[in-house]
């Protein structure tokens, strides 16, 4: 389970996260929604240890272990996975090579034996089939020349292979066509269970029809300003973020409230 | 697929942060007196029982060398080399002829083992009972001619190659056994006075490999030489000559290592290739001479002249090199495209880390009509490394319809290193087409983070990205050596990223 308390962080001296409190119990899927620029991706980077994001306060633990002090690869080995909003291209690095290297690195970190080429291929083929990915994608360079949707699917393939205990999916739904949305959601739902939790960042209620969250949180101005059940997503879809903004005490208002108005 | 995975395994298994080939072998050596003069040239020639014509050939080279000056145009810096402060001949005292493989000094075999010469080849080198000439299951057979300091001590697979009429032996042996071939081709591609280091080599070369592939024969295995510099203060001057007769085909691999030493050692090889009508020569090099320590102390000075002549129509010469070692690398494997429709290729990866300097590239001389050349150069600089691609594409007036494509990519790791591209294009033919592309990039922070988020350490991530960057070149290497090359890339870059 992921427990975040009072987490604040800055980039280049600019404070982006301003005290996040959030708990995702084991086995649950939570959604994070929020306006552009509110700090959703920043939160995912801070949790996964990206360089340049400085934690200025608060704590974050994964299954009771403080992750903020770890190297990014140690967090990955500890079970944290981030599906990137913008998956990165690695020219010349074969997708299969990358997947297998990553898988064995994570397995090693977990004290499991490494998979040989045959074992790896077997698992990879299975997972790709489930995600309706053509097998020749294994041979191509990581994300190189992939369409937007293919890149997202590739992220989910990596998640399915690495079997994390905590996955953060940053706008994995954007760029997916209707069928792909369903396939990817099925992929995530298949992993749901006692050993898996997820934080799903999205702008659209539609995804949450497929991946039904246990909780929905609204992130605005670097804070979780509202939490609720799946119905909260419907409310947001109907009324937008403005309504929430209105209801907040001015010190929590994204626009600074009356002072700025 | 499986091979690719094997590669990754190999890449991952590498954790040593030092030059792991830095061992010395304790074998009794025989030296010529230190220094260089006519007597030394005569001494070497006499030691090798050479015919009079070869001694004269050497002496002519020596006379030329004395009139020449060290070339200064390359972008490399080093203190002047004292050519009198070196030994020009060193040989293991025990006479180990190729016919008595089982008498090979165990120390030498240990050396081969440390070099990573495949076990099977070691057994064959050592003449182990029943080792025969069949390679281990599933492996491409490889024949090895090992040059240990100055004398080629052993050659394997000779019999099997002999059946095809292929000659693969040390050049000293070829001088004795096939003098006509040697006389006809030696110096025919790289003349004695070609350049300062080639002249030096011509005067004092001690050994190297000789290959002759007869008409229409496809060499059934990779031919391979492992060079190794062992004795202190010996220059290594090998001379390699490969002749592919009409319609023949050969793939040759050269791998090099040298022990760790504080002083700089000189290596000045000459390689000549000749391809007749429809013949193909593929020449691959994996060079990991000792690069010097992290402060730039020690390391090999590698001044090499490699040139191939595509004499015949439709002949093809392809150079592939992975240069990870040496303090200084100065080499320009070149192709003289004489035969019509002949093809020259140059695929290169050069890494410079710490204080290494590399000035390397190629020259493509288009002489015949419709000749074609491809140049793909990948330069990687890290630490204080300086990497220069220097290339010449010259298209003569008669090379109608000639084509060249050049791609030079540089990858920078850190802020203290440098990458330079110096392409010369001389085109005297209207109908020829020359294309040149060049890029310089850095390993992006988001690429590193992406890899690390997936569980790779910083160094594994760099290794993976660099291997991806070099892929177009690495895929040209025979699979066996591609694995080794990828390992080397990672080792060479260790500590290069904070
Ligand atoms: N290097 C930087 N310097 C200053 N501000 C930055 C830097 N990087 C990001 N930001 C700012 O941080 C804020 C949060 O960005 P973040 O990417 O976390 O938003 P988001 O909630 O994921 O938005 P979206 O929904 O558009 O993906 C934005 O205002 C962004 O401009
Ligand atoms: Mg975002």
- Domain of A10, CATH number, reads 3.40.50.300
Ligand of minimum distance to the alpha carbon of A10: 1
Q: Which pLDDT value is given to residue B326?
A: 73
The residue contributing the CA closest to ligand 1 atom 16 is: A39
Highest mean pLDDT among A135-139, B118-122, B326-330, B416-420: A135-139
How many CB atoms are located within 10 Å of the residue A97 CB? 24
Please tell me if residue A52 touches chain B, with a CB cutoff of 8 Å: yes
- Binned at pLDDT 50, 70 and 90, residue B231 comes out as very low
- State mean pLDDT over B96-113: 50
B393: pLDDT strictly greater than 90? yes
Q: Which residues of A touch B466 (CB under 8 A)?
A: none
- Selecting from A76, A121, A138 the residue whose C-beta is nearest the C-beta of B453 gives A76
- How far is B302 from A159, CA to CA, in rounded Å? 47
Mean pLDDT of chain A: 89
Tell me if A17 is assigned to some domain: yes
Are B468 and A51 inside 8 Å of each other by CB?
A: no
Instruction: Sort out which chain A residues have CB atoms less than 8 A from B457's CB and list them.
Output: 71, 73, 105
Answer yes or no: is A215 within a domain. yes
Q: How far is CA B347 from the centre of its chain?
A: 12
Distance from Cα A80 to the centre of ligand 1, integer Å = 21
Q: What is the 3-state secondary structure (H, E, C) of chain B?
A: CHHHHHHHHHHHHCCCCCCCCCCCCCCCEEECCCCCCHHHHHHHHHHCCCCHHHHHHHHHHHHHHHHCCCCCCCCCCCCCCCCCCCECCEEECCCCCCCCHHHCCHHHHHHHHHHCCCHHHHHHHHCCCCCCCCCCCCCCCEEEEEEECCEEEEECCHHHHHHCCCEEEEHHHHHHHCHHHHHHHCCCCCCCCCCHHHHHHHHHCCECEEEEECCCCECCCEEEEEEECCCCCECECEEEEEEECCCCEEEEEEEEECCCCCCEEEECCEEEEEECCCCEEEEEEEEECCCCCCCCCCEEEEEEEEEEEECCCCCEEEEEEEECCCCEEEECCEEEECCCCCEEEEEEEEEECCCCEEEEEEEEEECCCCCEEEEEEEEEEECCCEEEEEEEEEECCCCCCCEEEEEEEEEEECCCCEEEEEEEEEECCCCCEEEEEEEEEECCHHHHHHHHHCCCCHHHHHHHHHHHHCHHHHCCCCHHHHHHHHHHHHHHCCCCCC
List the Cα angle A25/A31/A33 in 5-degree steps.
Answer: 140
**Domain containing residue A231:** 2-88+147-246
Q: Does A25 map to a domain? A: yes
What average pLDDT score do residues B160-166 get?
86
Q: What residues have CB less than 8 Å from A84, skipping those under 6 apart?
A: A155, A170, B450, B453
Q: What is the pLDDT of residue B140?
A: 41
In chain B, what percentage of residues exceed pLDDT 90?
33
How far apart, in whole angstroms, are the C-alpha atoms of residue B390 and residue B384?
A: 19
Is A172 among the domain residues? yes
- Which residue intervals of A67-175 are DSSP H helices? 72-77, 95-109, 117-130, 148-162
Number of domains into which chain A is organized: 1
**How far away, in angstroms, is B156 Cα from ligand 2 center?**
62
At B267 the pLDDT is 81
Asked if residue B253 lies in contact with residue B284, where contact means CB atoms within 8 angstroms, the answer is yes
- Are A73 and B468 inside 8 Å of each other by CB? no
pLDDT of B370 higher than 90: yes
Does some domain include residue A16?
A: yes
Please compute the mean of the pLDDT values over residues B263-271 and round it to a whole number.
79
CB contact under 8 A, A96 and B1: yes
Partner B contacted by A146 (CB < 8 A): no
Instruction: Please answer whether residues B473 and B378 qualify as being in contact, where contact means their C-beta atoms are separated by less than 8 angstroms.
Output: yes
Q: Residue B245 in contact with residue B279, Cβ under 8 Å?
A: yes
The pLDDT value given to residue B144: 55
pLDDT bin (cut points 50, 70, 90) of residue B220 is confident
User: What percent of chain A has a predicted confidence (pLDDT) above 70?
Assistant: 94
Å between A130 CA and nearest CA of chain B: 21
Write out residues 420-449 of B within 8 Å (CB-CB) of A: 444-447, 449
What is the complex's ipTM, to 2 decimals?
Answer: 0.94
Judged by a CB distance cut-off of 8 A, whether residue B470 touches chain A is yes
Q: Which of A15, A40, A241 to mutate to test the pocket of ligand 1 (most atoms within 8 A of CB)?
A: A40
Distance CA A151, CA A110 (A): 27
Q: What is the dihedral of CA A113, B16, A96, A71, to 10 degrees?
A: 80
Q: What average pLDDT does chain B have?
A: 77
B27 has pLDDT over 60: no
Give the tokens for residue B141: 């057979």
pLDDT of residue B60: 94
Q: Which neighbouring-strand residues pair with B391? A: B362, B423
CB contact under 8 A, A87 and B471: no
For residue A213, the distance in angstroms to the closest alpha carbon of chain B comes to: 24
For residue A110, is it within any domain?
no
Specify the range with the lowest mean pLDDT, choosing from A32-41, B375-384, B489-498: B489-498
| pLDDT score, position B28 | 57
Q: What is the pLDDT of residue A197?
A: 95
B4 has pLDDT over 80: no
Contact between B450 and A94 using a beta-carbon 8 Å cutoff: no
Rounded to an integer, what distance in angstroms lies between the CA atom of residue B270 and that of residue B306? Answer: 6
Distance CA B35, CA B82 (A): 9
Write the Ramachandran bin of B99: left for phi over 0, alpha for psi from -120 to 50, otherwise beta. alpha
Determine which of B454, B458, B497 to mutate to test the interface with A (most A C-beta atoms within 10 Å).
B454
Q: Which residues lie with the beta carbon below 6 Å from any ligand 1 atom?
A: A 11-12, 14, 16, 34, 36-42, 85
Among B5, B444, B468, select the one facing A141 at the smallest CB separation. Answer: B468
Instruction: Give the pair of three-digit tokens for residue B277.
Output: 């009508």
Q: Could you say which of B447, B454, B468 has the minimum Cβ distance to residue A102?
A: B454
Looking at per-residue confidence, does B442 or B453 come out higher?
A: B453
Which residue of A74, A89, A90 to mutate against B (max B Cβ within 10 Å)?
Answer: A90
Distance from the CA of A254 to the center of ligand 1, in angstroms?
14
pLDDT on residue B138:
36
Tokens read off for B350: 């050069």
pTM of the full structure: 0.77
User: Do the domain assignments include residue A60?
Assistant: yes
Determine the pLDDT at residue A235: 86
The CA distance from B344 to B373, in Å, is 5
Q: Greatest CA separation found in chain A?
A: 64
Residue A99 lies in a domain: no
The pLDDT, as a whole number, for residue B351 is 84
């Amino acid at each position: 389970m992921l427990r975040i308390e009072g987490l604040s962080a800055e980039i280049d001296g600019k404070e982006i996260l301003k005290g996040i409190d959030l708990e995702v119990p084991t086995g649950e899927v939570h959604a994070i929604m929020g306006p552009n620029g509110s700090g959703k991706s920043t939160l995912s980077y801070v949790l996964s240890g990206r360089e340049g994001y400085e934690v200025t306060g608060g704590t974050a633990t994964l299954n009771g272990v403080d992750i903020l002090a770890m190297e990014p690869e140690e967090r990955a080995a500890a079970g944290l996975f981030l599906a990137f909003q913008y998956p990165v291209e690695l020219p010349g690095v074969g997708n299969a090579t990358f997947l297998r290297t990553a898988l064995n690195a994570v397995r090693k970190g977990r004290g499991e034996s490494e998979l040989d080429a045959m074992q790896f291929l077997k698992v990879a083929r299975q997972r790709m089939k489930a995600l309706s990915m053509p097998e020749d994608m294994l041979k191509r360079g990581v994300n190189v020349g992939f369409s937007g949707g293919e890149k997202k699917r590739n992220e989910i393939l990596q998640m399915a292979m690495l079997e994390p205990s905590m996955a953060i999916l940053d706008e994995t739904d954007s760029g997916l066509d209707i069928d792909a949305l369903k396939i990817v959601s099925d992929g995530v739902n298949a992993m749901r269970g006692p050993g898996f939790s997820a934080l799903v960042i999205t702008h659209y209620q539609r995804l949450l029809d497929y991946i039904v969250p246990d909780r929905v949180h609204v992130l605005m101005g670097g804070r979780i300003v509202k939490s609720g059940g799946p119905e909260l997503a419907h409310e947001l879809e109907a009324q937008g973020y403005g309504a929430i903004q209105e209801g907040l005490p001015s010190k929590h208002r994204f626009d600074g409230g009356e002072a700025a108005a | 697929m499986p091979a690719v995975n094997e590669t990754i395994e190999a890449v991952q298994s590498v954790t040593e942060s030092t030059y792991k080939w830095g061992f010395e072998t304790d074998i009794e050596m025989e030296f010529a007196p230190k220094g260089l003069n006519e007597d030394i040239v005569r001494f070497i020639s006499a030691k090798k029982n050479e015919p009079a014509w070869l001694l004269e050939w050497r002496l002519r080279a020596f006379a030329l060398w004395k009139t020449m000056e060290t070339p200064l145009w390359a972008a490399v810096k080093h203190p002047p080399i004292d050519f009198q402060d070196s030994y020009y001949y060193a040989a293991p005292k025990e006479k180990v002829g190729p016919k008595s493989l089982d008498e090979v000094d165990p120390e030498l075999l240990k050396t081969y083992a440390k070099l990573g010469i495949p076990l099977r080849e070691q057994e064959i080198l050592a003449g182990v009972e029943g080792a025969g000439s069949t390679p281990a299951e599933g492996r491409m057979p490889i024949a090895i001619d090992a040059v240990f300091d100055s004398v080629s001590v052993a050659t394997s697979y000779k019999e099997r190659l002999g059946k095809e009429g292929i000659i693969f032996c040390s050049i000293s042996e070829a001088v004795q056994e096939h003098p006509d071939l040697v006389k006809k081709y030696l110096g025919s591609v790289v003349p004695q006075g070609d350049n300062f280091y080639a002249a030096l080599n011509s005067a004092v070369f001690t050994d190297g490999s000789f290959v002759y592939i007869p008409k229409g024969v496809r060499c059934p295995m990779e031919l391979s030489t492992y060079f190794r510099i062992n004795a202190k203060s010996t220059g290594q001057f090998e001379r390699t000559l490969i002749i592919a007769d009409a319609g023949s085909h050969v793939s040759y691999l050269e791998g090099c290592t040298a022990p760790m030493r504080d002083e700089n050692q000189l290596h000045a090889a000459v390689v000549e290739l000749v391809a007749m009508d429809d013949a193909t020569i593929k020449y691959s090099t994996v060079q990991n001479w000792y690069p010097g320590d992290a402060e730039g102390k020690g390391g090999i000075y590698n001044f090499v002249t490699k040139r191939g002549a595509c004499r015949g129509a439709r002949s093809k010469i392809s150079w592939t090199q992975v240069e990870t070692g040496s303090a200084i690398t100065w080499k320009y494997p070149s192709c003289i495209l004489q035969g019509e429709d002949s093809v020259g290729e140059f695929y290169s990866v050069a890494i410079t880390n710490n204080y290494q300097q590399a000035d390397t590239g190629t020259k493509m001389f288009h002489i015949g009509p419709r000749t074609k050349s491809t140049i793909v150069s990948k330069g990687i600089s890290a630490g204080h490394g300086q990497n220069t691609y220097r290339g010449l594409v010259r298209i003569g007036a008669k090379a109608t319809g000639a084509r060249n494509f050049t791609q030079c990519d540089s990858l920078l790791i850190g802020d203290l290193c440098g990458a330079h591209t110096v392409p010369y294009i001389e085109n005297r033919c209207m109908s020829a087409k020359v294309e040149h592309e060049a890029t310089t990039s850095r390993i992006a922070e988001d690429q590193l983070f992406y890899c690390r988020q997936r569980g790779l350490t910083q160094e594994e991530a760099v290794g993976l990205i660099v291997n991806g960057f070099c892929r177009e070149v690495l895929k040209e290497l025979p699979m066996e050596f591609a694995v080794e090359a990828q390992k080397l890339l990672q080792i060479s870059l260790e500590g290069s990223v904070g």
